[in-house]
């Protein structure tokens, strides 16, 4: 009996001791204020809670009010310092590879692959970044411009012949078709397998509670990734068996790299890279385009101003039917202001994660070695001290401001050495689509358009519109 009591006492004391150190982590300095939440679970449930506004999530906003712009928490079992402080955010990006390195919670790594580009560092990351720049760099984008315009016009024409379309799904389909063709020459019409369907399943559970049980969104996400990776590997093997005489897509480039003597590229890394590129290049852009159309629907004066800029481009052409030129694209001053304002409010990426490589002292606080750091772009983009009426849609606030990268005030595409290499590709797709849209078509909202964040941006009821060709309307 006494033995049982002693064992029970030891277990209880050990448990209480463990809970105490969980809630009060050891630190060679002063930790940022905050709460570690429940053991193991931390504050994960609060982090994933639904937010129905464009404002900073209640998870971050409430803690900033309570603790200040730098606070600690625990997410999916890992201690994390959350930064809504512009100075710390900028410091983290500038010290990439020295004091911090790219890091995401284990659940994210499981989703994107252990050797995905976000988990690689140093020379390997620079090597892969150089590979991607060959695809999405300015020279390649100039060559792609006619194809992007042709794709946009083709899809818009199809949409105008239907009674109703759901914007998010249709723009995602359009961009996935374009990107997959550029990357792997994938044709969704001719292929017997639906590659995009696996990405849809993947995306639906991407930012969800990490519970890997059949029926959960997270489980479907992992299954979608697994099936997509099988298809990508099969396509790569088919290309290896039937090589092309000339390099025409990214797979050709990858195969050439894999053949080189002493190459550091491996097939698993190449496939993970392909998966991330397909996901990042179409999902984020389709969300931004859907929100852009929502803003245009809600702000007729902005629609008028955007239309005037693009109709002026058409009037200045020597040949009315000639396609967009790179010079015309670069002249879209108001369009780029519109895009900046859209992605500022969209905040598609709710958090950017890094890991401290050693104890780091900043503004009187210590970030312990090994802790995660979550840079919070929404807290910067929606800060009333930085942006007047931050929740209002006002593209003119960008007038006279050149945005060529990240800054303390704007980090929609990341920052530092990991600034998104697909940024220019995203802007080209958005600008060209908007040009084709406002010069040739009109639309009316049928239903939907409301957004939620969990914490990623979603359109739970879709955004359904009816689109019509302006020429048909004038003839009627």
Residue positions in the annotated binding site?
A: 420
* 373 close to 356: Cβ distance less than 8 angstroms: yes
Which of 456, 90, 465 has its CA nearest to residue 296? 465
Q: Which residue has the tokens 């998966």?
A: 275
Give backbone dihedrals phi and psi of 98, rounded to 5 degrees, phi first.
-115, -65
* 452 close to 460: Cβ distance less than 8 angstroms: yes
Q: Give the span between the Cα atoms of 387 and 237, in whole angstroms.
A: 51
DSSP-derived 3-state class of residue 366: strand
Pairing of β 372-375 and β 78-83: parallel
Binding site per annotation, positions for heme: 420
* 23 close to 35: Cβ distance less than 8 angstroms: yes
Q: What is the DSSP letter of 324?
A: P
* 353 close to 103: Cβ distance less than 8 angstroms: yes
The string of DSSP letters for 25-90 reads ---SS-PPSB---BTTTBTHHHHT--B-SSSPPHHHHHHHHHH-SEEEEEETTEEEEEE--HHHHH
Per-residue tokens: 261: 């003597």
Rounded to whole angstroms, what are the CA distances from 80 to 32, 119, 364, 402, 460? 10, 17, 17, 33, 29
């Amino acid at each position: 009996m006494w033995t049982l009591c002693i064992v029970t006492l030891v277990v209880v004391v050990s448990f209480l001791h463990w809970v105490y150190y969980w809630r009060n982590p050891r630190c060679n300095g002063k930790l940022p204020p905050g709460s570690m939440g429940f053991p193991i679970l931390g504050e994960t449930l609060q982090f994933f809670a639904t937010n129905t506004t464009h404002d900073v999530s209640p998870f971050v906003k409430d803690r900033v009010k309570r603790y200040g712009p730098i606070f600690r928490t625990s997410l999916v079992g890992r201690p994390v310092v959350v930064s809504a402080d512009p100075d710390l955010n900028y410091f983290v990006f500038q010290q990439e590879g020295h004091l911090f390195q790219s890091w995401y919670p284990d659940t994210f790594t499981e989703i994107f692959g252990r050797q995905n580009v976000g988990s690689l560092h140093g020379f390997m990351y620079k090597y892969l970044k150089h590979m991607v720049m060959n695809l999405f760099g300015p020279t390649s984008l100039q060559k792609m411009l006619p194809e992007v315009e042709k794709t946009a016009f083709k899809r818009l024409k199809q949409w105008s012949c239907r009674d109703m379309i759901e914007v998010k799904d249709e723009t995602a389909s359009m961009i996935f078709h374009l990107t997959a063709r550029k990357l792997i020459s994938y044709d969704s019409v001719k292929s017997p397998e639906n590659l995009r369907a696996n990405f849809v399943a993947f995306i639906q559970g991407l930012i969800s509670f990490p519970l890997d049980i059949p029926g959960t969104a997270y489980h479907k996400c992992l299954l979608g990734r697994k099936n997509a990776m099988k298809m990508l590997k099969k396509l790569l093997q088919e290309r290896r068996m039937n090589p092309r005489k000339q390099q025409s897509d990214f797979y050709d480039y990858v195969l050439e790299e894999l053949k080189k003597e002493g190459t550091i590229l491996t097939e698993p890394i190449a496939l993970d890279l392909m998966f991330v590129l397909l996901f990042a290049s179409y999902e984020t852009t389709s969300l931004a385009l859907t929100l852009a159309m929502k803003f245009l629907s809600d702000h007729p004066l902005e629609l008028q101003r955007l239309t005037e800029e693009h109709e002026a481009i058409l009037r200045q052409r020597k040949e009315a039917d000639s396609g967009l030129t790179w010079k015309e694209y670069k002249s879209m001053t108001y369009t780029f202001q519109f895009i900046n304002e859209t992605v500022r409010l969209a905040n598609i990426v709710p958090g950017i994660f890094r890991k401290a490589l050693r104890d780091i002292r900043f503004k009187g606080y210590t970030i312990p070695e090994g802790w995660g750091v979550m840079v919070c772009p929404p807290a910067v983009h929606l800060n009333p001290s930085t942006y007047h009426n931050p929740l209002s849609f006002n593209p003119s606030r960008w007038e006279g401001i050149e945005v060529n990268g990240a800054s303390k005030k704007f980090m929609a595409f990341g920052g530092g050495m990991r600034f998104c290499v697909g940024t220019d590709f995203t802007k080209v797709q958005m600008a060209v689509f908007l040009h084709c849209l406002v010069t040739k078509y009109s639309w009316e909202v049928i239903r939907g358009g409301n957004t939620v964040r969990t914490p990623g941006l979603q359109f739970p009821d879709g955004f359904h519109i009816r689109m019509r060709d302006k020429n048909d309307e004038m003839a009627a």
